[in-house]
Amino acid sequence: MNSGKTIFSQLMDFLPEYEFRKCVEQYQGNYKTKSFSCWDQFLCLAFAQLTYRESLRDIEACLRVAETKLYHMGFRGQVSRNTLANANQVRDWRIYADFAQVLIHIARSLYANEDFGLELDQTVYALDSTTIDLCLALFPWAKFRKRKGAVKLHTLLDLRGSIPTVIFITHGKVHDIQILDHLWKEPGAIYLMDRGYVDFARLYKIHQSMAFFVTRTKKNFNFKRLYSHLIDKSSGLQCDQTIVPANFYAKKDYPEKLRRIRFFDLEKKKHLIFLTNNFSLPALTITELYRCRWRVELFFKWIKQHLRIKVFYGTSENAVKTQIWIAISVYVLVAIIKKRLNLESSLYTILQILSVTLFEKTPILQALSSGRIPIPEVPVGNQLTLF
């Protein structure tokens, strides 16, 4: 007798299925589909992410073992390795990219007041990319080196909750700086970037959008000092200057004033030089902001360690992007659950618990809570009690 919903089914209840159907209809994802829908494909790959499945055959074997439970978990089609492989091959990856953006919008609203270490009213983003190595013989479209393939995940991370707001998936040859051309700059927001994104024409577009950037200078950067501001050298600050670029082309690309801050990091015994167009924040706050940029590196490390985005279930570009976007959806879904259920556990702990309890019929709050929550016993028999 079915005496409750599985944890996997309870987990999927947090997904806005109506929004998913809108994404499918936009790209005609279920066109000429008889049994295995886009929703079934999403559930299969979400299950694979949550339970660390290594191949399509692995997914098929695990789900067919629990075949009697699949209907109550939301599956309506027959789970087959060949059917899933074909779906990954032909169904538009933009379905899952758009749905991930729906989840990201929900998560950002939940984490809008989250503290990230600095008391700032502005939205703060960290921009960076990570490379996923691939075999060029199996993934010939993923160009990177002469004998090596790769894809890049260019990510704009909202530091409130560490939610990825924008993700571009490209082959390895695309330079990081080109992504600035495709970003919509939010007025008043602060963008944290490393020195690989220093291009004065593109930085000036951020400035013209009424947004702010914080980055580091390159070693060959030449400038002319206009003013020097008072600083507290005991805090590690060495200078706070108003400057203009001295190089002809740099000055042409960025005709406005810039702020240059030199800081000595006592922990790493290293001199750091920052460049920004923000003149209102204290110099020490600018240095602390850049330190927060490392959260995007931690985000890349987390998803590579705990989600399946380094080994892929298909070799086509569509299959790779589909798998990555569903992995991002799972990450954001876990973040949504953590907030809505007021869980104290980390995302890692929640993911580990889910990986071994998906088939259990336990209330999800009881399964994910660190402490025991008393749940009233529900009789599993279908006989009435006479005495």
Cα(126)–Cα(289) distance, rounded to whole angstroms? Answer: 10
The angle formed by the CA atoms of residues 15, 20 and 25, to the nearest 5 degrees, is 170
Query: What pLDDT was estimated at residue 192?
Result: 96
The closest of 234, 223, 230 to 273, measured between CA atoms, is: 223
Residues of the chain with pLDDT under 70: 1-3, 370-387
Q: What does the domain layout of the chain look like in residue ranges? A: 7-95+315-368, 194-292
Position of tokens 């309870």? 10
* Residue type (1 letter), 121: D
- Provide φ and ψ at 131, rounded to 5°: -110, 135
Cα(180)–Cα(204) distance, rounded to whole angstroms? Answer: 11
Query: Buried (b) or exposed (e) across 305-316, using 16+ Cβ within 10 A?
Result: ebbbbeebbbbb
Q: Which residues contact 202 (CB under 8 A, 6 or more apart)?
A: 177, 180, 181
Cα(66)–Cα(9) distance, rounded to whole angstroms? Answer: 13
Token digits of residue 381:
């028999």
pLDDT tens column, 61-111: 999 888 888 888 888 878 889 999 999 999 999 999 999 999 999 999 999
Cα(349)–Cα(355) distance, rounded to whole angstroms? Answer: 10
Cα(246)–Cα(223) distance, rounded to whole angstroms? Answer: 4
Query: What pLDDT was estimated at residue 378?
Result: 44
Cα(13)–Cα(349) distance, rounded to whole angstroms? Answer: 20
Cα(228)–Cα(199) distance, rounded to whole angstroms? Answer: 24
The closest of 49, 47, 50, 83 to 65, measured between CA atoms, is: 47
